[in-house]
């Protein structure tokens, strides 16, 4: 059930299989996010939820209370601060940069990287969120919690979008990982006050839940 070796991996080429210790929930190491993905196949961009599919101001309503500013860019604009490249979201300081075609899961993922940082890291943040392997797992878990707080979206949708986009898990899917292999992520979040465990269920703290 979870552990430091069970790393949430996203958008990593299958050619990276075998890198790292046996049993990892990843295809390539993510501690430095040093393995960029291949170009995103067109079929992926058509099977995940885009930011412009959400109700107006849904992302702003979710993220503004945390202190994260959302910056909308044009459909074909470059996305400054995007680690993986367009159409994925960018991070610069306290700004999350998205286009209409940015996947919602990407916007949530990068927002959660920001939420998991202390102020010193946020102050120098540009493109590469960094962090440990366990923090990467925590980011993935937190984006799933926040998905239920985002108007017009849901946890089931983020699970489906993560699977379609190419996140990799030992148990085969985002939903299975979330339910059965995420103990290290939940411990990390609870220890830092980003989540609470009530009667065995991990959720956002009441003050952070939007509804």
User: ∠ CA(17), CA(21), CA(22), 5° rounding?
Assistant: 75
Confidence grade of residue 202 (pLDDT, cut at 50, 70, 90): very high
Confidence grade of residue 44 (pLDDT, cut at 50, 70, 90): very low
Structure confidence at residue 34 (pLDDT): 30
56: exposed, middle or buried (Cβ count in 10 Å: 0-12, 13-18, 19+): exposed
pLDDT at 45 over 50: no
- Indicate the angle between helix axes 104-115 and 155-165, nearest 10 degrees: 100
Q: Which of 116, 141, 110, 108 is nearest to 192 (CA)?
A: 116
Q: Are 114 and 126 in contact (CB under 8 A)?
A: no
- 132-166 pLDDT, tens per residue? 999 999 999 999 999 999 999 999 999 999 999 98
- 3-35 pLDDT, tens per residue? 333 456 543 333 222 222 222 333 223 333 333
- 46-71 pLDDT, tens per residue? 589 999 999 999 999 999 999 999 99
pTM of the model as a whole: 0.81
Q: How far apart are CA 141 and CA 129, in angstroms?
A: 16
Residue with tokens 């919690």: 145
Structure confidence at residue 97 (pLDDT): 98
Q: Residue 97: what are its φ and ψ, rounded to 5°?
A: -105, 130
Structure confidence at residue 12 (pLDDT): 33
- Collapsing DSSP to helix, strand or coil, 173 comes out as coil
Q: Are 25 and 168 in contact (CB under 8 A)?
A: yes
Residue with tokens 């961009």: 45
């Amino acid at each position: 059930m979870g552990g430091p070796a069970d790393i949430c991996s996203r958008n990593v080429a299958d050619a990276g299989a075998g890198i790292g210790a046996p049993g990892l929930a990843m295809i390539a190491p993510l501690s430095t996010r040093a393995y960029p993905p291949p170009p995103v196949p067109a079929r992926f961009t058509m099977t995940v939820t885009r930011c412009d599919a959400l109700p107006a101001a849904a992302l702003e309503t979710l993220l503004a209370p945390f202190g994260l500013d959302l910056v909308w860019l044009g459909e074909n604009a470059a996305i400054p601060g995007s680690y993986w490249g367009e159409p994925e979201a960018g991070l610069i300081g306290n700004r999350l940069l998205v286009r209409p075609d940015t996947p919602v899961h990407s916007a949530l993922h990068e927002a959660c990287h920001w939420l998991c940082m202390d102020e010193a890291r946020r102050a120098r943040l540009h493109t590469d969120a960094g962090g440990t392997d366990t923090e990467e797992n925590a980011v993935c878990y937190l984006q799933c919690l926040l998905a239920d707080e985002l108007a017009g979206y849901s946890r089931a949708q983020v699970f489906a979008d993560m699977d379609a986009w190419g996140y990799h898990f030992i148990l085969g899917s985002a939903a299975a990982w979330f339910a059965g292999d995420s103990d290290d992520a939940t411990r990390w979040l609870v220890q830092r006050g980003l989540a609470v465990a009530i009667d065995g269920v991990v959720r956002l703290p009441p003050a952070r839940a939007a509804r």
